[in-house]
Amino acid sequence: MQKISVIGAGTMGNGIAHVFAMKGFTVNLVDVSEEALKKAVATITRNLDRMVTKGTISQDDKVATLNNLSTNTSLHSCKDDDLVIEAATENVDIKLKIFQQLEEICKKETILASNTSSISITKIGAVTKRADKVIGMHFMNPVPVMKLVEVIKGYATSDEVLKTIMDISYKLGKSPVEVNDYPGFVANRILMPMINEAIYTLFEGVAGVEEIDTVMKLGMSHPMGPLQLADFIGLDVCLAILKVLHDGFGNPKYAPCPLLVNMVAAGYMGVKSGEGFYNYALGTKDMVISPRFA
């Protein structure tokens, strides 16, 4: 297992490419947008520089990591890979189309993994002719920092493929946890209702943004409050995951808060759009409370 491709150069894709390249794998980062690829390499370089400054890695490690990384705009560049990890937009149609194409392009031994945060691995596997080699490999943001990989076994995923992915996750220095394929798996089945409830708490006027986040940070020792975390994950991603939970279980307790629905419709996506529950000076960590909710 040496040649890896990561499909999608967004936040998760560039983080996944970063950790594989840092551990000596040959990584091909694929995106339809040349600009997204350039931005991803710049982000990886910045994060590596931060690690050099902190003394976590050496300058030579940084150079070696970047040398292990290449970029491409065509899925055909994945044809000889041992493992392909899809980290595209959290949209079922987009993901199914990518897996159908990978089925045609990749050699028959290639393991096809998805970094989906909630979409059924069984459903993704069923559009290929190798459902036994389709698996979920769900990393957490920021990928270079967070230890967890949620490894999702679809209905047809083989035990051999599961073991390979658990082993490779350990090689990345991560702590993989095996889970079964039900909506939201474990991480988001628990995290998203908490975030949704925090948004309802704001919507119903129980407390303001800062108060809600402070309660959870100081009272429960969470590194970020749930509203800040929602901005960090992306409000569009939170909404997409809640819809998967709502549709998948048919239980009204997962219904997304109307405030979240409205914010996404208005283009307030959190950090990546510059505004969510907080305002962000894009490209910096500075933030102030959004006047709409202060």
Here the tokens at position 82 are 């041992």
Beta carbon nearer to ligand CAA, 69 or 78 = 69
CA distances from 271 to 31, 83, 192, 213 (A): 21, 31, 18, 16
Task: Tell me: does residue 45 bind ligand CAA (CB under 6 A).
Answer: no
User: What type of residue sits at position 70?
Assistant: S
Beta carbon nearer to ligand CAA, 102 or 137 = 137
Residue from 50, 107, 147, 253 in contact with ligand CAA (CB under 6 A): 50
**What does DSSP say about strands 83-86 and 69-72: parallel, antiparallel, or unpaired?**
unpaired
**What does DSSP say about strands 26-30 and 3-7: parallel, antiparallel, or unpaired?**
parallel
Stretch that binds ligand CAA, among 24-32, 49-57, 93-101, 267-275 (CB under 6 A): 49-57
Task: Tell me: does residue 140 bind ligand CAA (CB under 6 A).
Answer: yes
Handedness of CA 79, 83, 87, 92 (dihedral sign): positive
Task: Tell me: does residue 188 bind ligand CAA (CB under 6 A).
Answer: yes
Residue from 87, 216, 233, 263 in contact with ligand CAA (CB under 6 A): 233
Beta carbon nearer to ligand CAA, 65 or 110 = 65
Candidates 271, 248, 252, 250; CA nearest to 92 is 248
Beta carbon nearer to ligand CAA, 78 or 240 = 240
**Eight-class DSSP state of 286:** -
Q: Measured from the CB of residue 36, what is the shortest distance to ligand CAA in angstroms? A: 17
Q: Measured from the CB of residue 143, what is the shortest distance to ligand CAA in angstroms? A: 7
Task: Tell me: does residue 173 bind ligand CAA (CB under 6 A).
Answer: no
Residue from 10, 144, 154, 176 in contact with ligand CAA (CB under 6 A): 144
Here the tokens at position 70 are 């290449």
Strands, E assignment, the chain: 3-7, 26-30, 69-72, 83-86, 111-114, 134-139, 148-153, 175-180, 278-280, 287-289
Positions marked active-site: 117, 138, 150, 188
Applying CB under 6 A, which residues contact ligand CAA? 47, 50-51, 54, 117, 140-142, 144-146, 187-188, 223-224, 229, 233
